[in-house]
Amino acid sequence: MKTNNPHGDDAALDALLQEWKPKASLPPRFQEQVWCRIERAESAPAPTVTLAQLFAAWLATKLPRPALATAYVAVLIVIGAGVGWSQARQESERVSTELSARYAQAVDPYQTTP
């Protein structure tokens, strides 16, 4: 807040502060205690962030971004389709091998059963 005569007040305040001498004395071993507290603070482990917390933060802040969300869903769909295609191909090959063996066994009794 501005006063009407700021320079006069400042001079008075300065004079008053010059005269002021603190009378309270410091508690015993004050300086030592301060250093102890500093040491304790420095030696205390820094707060760790767990993977779950990082994931939760990513989930709350980064994933909802439209571009990332779209890319994430698209990538998962492609992965799902890829795995499905690969397994379908393996299954087709397995069935084809099994049926060809069955045909050979049917027409050729000398086939040995695997």
Partner 1 sequence: MRRGLLILALGLVGAALAYCCVYLMGTATPRALMQSAQPELAWLKQEFNLSDAEFTRISQLHAGYLPQCKERCQRIDELNDTLSTTLASATQVTPEVEKLLSERAQIRASCQTEMLKHFFEVSRTMPPEQGKRYLAWVRNNTCLREQAMDHGTEKHGATATPAHHP
Cβ–Cβ < 8 Å for 3, 9: yes
Q: Kindly tell me which of 18 and 113 has the beta carbon lying closer to partner 1.
A: 113
Contacts of 69 (CB under 8 A, 6+ apart): 63
Q: Interaction with partner 1 in 47-106: which residues (CB under 8 A)?
A: 56, 58-61, 63-64, 69, 72-73, 75-81, 83-85, 87-89, 91-92, 95-96, 99-100, 102-106
Could you tell me the smallest distance in angstroms from the CB atom of residue 70 to partner 1?
9
Could you tell me the smallest distance in angstroms from the CB atom of residue 51 to partner 1?
15
Q: Kindly tell me which of 8 and 103 has the beta carbon lying closer to partner 1.
A: 103
Mark 12-22 as b/e (b = at least 16 C-beta within 10 Å). Answer: eeeeeeeeeee
Cβ–Cβ < 8 Å for 42, 36: no
